[in-house]
Amino acid sequence: MRTTQGYTPIPVVLAGARGHGRWHLENIRRLAGEGLVRLAGVCELRPLDAEELGDGFGFGEPGAGPEQSGDLGALIARTGAQIAVICTPIHTHADLALTAAAQGAHLLLEKPPTPSYAEFTRLRDGLADLEAACQIGFQSLGSHALPAIRKLIADGAIGAVRGIGAAGAWSRDEAYYTRAPWAGHRTLDGRDVIDGVLTNPLAHAVATALRIDGADRAEDITALELELYRANDIEADDTSCLRVRTCWGTTITAAVTLCAEEPGEPYVVVHGDRGRITFWYKQDRVRVERAGAPPETTHYARTDLLEDLAAHVRDGTELLVPPDRTGAFMRVVEAVRTAPAPVPLPPDAWRTEPGAAGASAGAKRRVVSGIDQLVTAGAERLALYSELRAPWAAPPAEVPHP
């Protein structure tokens, strides 16, 4: 924990406190307990009640507790918030971020930052003009495992890198796609959303692989191939893969699904000619395997991105995930956005099962037969589903390099 002695807690507003925003609310509560920040306001169209807000924020105490409003700009102006955490629908990110920055707030912006590269450029340039700092919410990029992995690679621990694979086999029930009007959509009311498995739920797999390679800026990608599929009755993709070539000559693949048979922890694996490094990024766990030596497993700490942003606001320290360091990921988002609509899988490729553990009563989920093995093989062989001869897979679409 960073020392807060002599500091006044930084006032923070949270835009979007339900859904995934509840995680941010709890994180703000934790950092408030350490004296680093205080919750000055909550921006929701429907205010939080006492139960939703919970303990520690002074709800119901005269003259205490966070102010609530559906108008983010006005809320920041009234509270004097220095940081705005934005966890709202994807297609609202750029407008709300620029609104907050215009009122003098710095930003923690949930990933993906925007649904298109044009919006990303507008956001990045607008924040620069307003001199507002912005941290993009790829929490895995705060892991201390990342510099450790890069050092292992640089020191030749696994020899020459042959490529990097990312694998994510998760499960989401059908209700996941009805939780919000934008869920599972490519567009909504004429606006880009791009809420697919590669760009939102398992976006960390892609962004983490790019960061490990040191190829996270827009200009670092030289070629990109995509295969987008869906088993669910949605617009966006739920079972997809990609392969990129980076400026360092590295091949990176990502094979992901939300239709897993047996959901597991997502990971990134670096293949070397004398070993491999596997990183389970949600657990900050790294395993190094080398010929002639037993595997070595290490757990690493993680820097919280809001804490890192607060340190930047106070001390000017360099941000872990500024917008430019997500430019390569946004190239992937743009490729998904401009690609043909995801191919619906044939009915014999998937089945319906009860929801996974923890799902609500009566929940159903769609499961793609054999997808767990395909995801693993994609990361292991740096191959696309079509190359693995999935019976439903078509040849990949190569995205022209601008």
Write out pLDDT tens, residues 203-222.
Answer: 999 999 999 999 999 999 99
Q: What is the mean pLDDT of the chain?
A: 94
Q: Is 18 helix (H, G, I), strand (E, B) or coil?
A: coil
Q: Which helix (H) or strand (E) holds 379?
A: helix 371-381
- Confidence class of residue 58 from pLDDT cuts 50, 70 and 90? low
pTM for the model stands at 0.95
Compute the average pLDDT of residues 112-138: 98
Q: Which residues make Cβ contacts (< 8 Å) with residue 385, sequence separation at least 6?
A: 227, 229, 241, 255, 374, 378, 393
User: What token pair was written down for 184?
Assistant: 């599972």
* Token pair of 223 as six digits: 């070629």
Strands 221-230 and 239-246: antiparallel
CB half-sphere exposure, 13, CA atoms < 13 A: 32
Would you state the pLDDT for residue 400? 66
User: What domains does the chain contain, in order, with CATH numbers?
Assistant: 10-139 (3.40.50.720), 144-303+324-399 (3.30.360.10)
With a cut of 90, say whether residue 59 has pLDDT above it.
no
Own/partner contacts of 29-34, CB < 8 Å, gap of 24 or more, are 29/54, 29/56, 29/57, 31/304, 31/306, 31/307, 31/310, 32/56, 32/57, 34/1, 34/4
Q: Which two tokens stand for residue 129?
A: 């003009």
User: Would the pLDDT of 190 be above 60?
Assistant: yes
pLDDT reported for residue 291: 87
* Averaged pLDDT for residues 95-102: 98
CA distance 168 to 375: 7
Under 8 Å between Cβ of 258 and 170: yes
What pLDDT is recorded for position 60? Answer: 47
Residue 348 pLDDT more than 50?
Answer: yes
pLDDT for res 382: 98
Contact between 124 and 323 under an 8 Å Cβ cutoff? The reply is yes
Q: Looking at residue 402, what is its pLDDT?
A: 52
Q: Which of 300, 265, 304 is nearest to 285 (CA)?
A: 300
Mean pLDDT of 231-258: 98
Residue 65: the pLDDT is 75
Report how far residue 367's alpha carbon sits from residue 387's, in angstroms, rounded to the nearest whole number. Answer: 21
Q: How confident is the model at residue 56 (pLDDT cuts 50, 70, 90)?
A: confident
In the predicted model, what is the mean pLDDT of residues 108-120? 98
pLDDT range class, residue 4, cuts 50, 70, 90? low
Question: Is residue 191 classed as helix, strand or coil in its secondary structure?
Answer: strand
- Average pLDDT over every residue of 89-102: 98
Q: What pLDDT was estimated at residue 333? A: 98
Looking at residue 1, its pLDDT comes to 42
Q: Helices marked H in 34-115 — which ranges?
A: 50-53, 72-79, 93-102
Q: Sign of the CA dihedral 101, 106, 107, 113?
A: positive
Query: Band of the pLDDT at 292, cuts 50, 70, 90?
Result: confident
Q: How many residues does the chain have?
A: 402
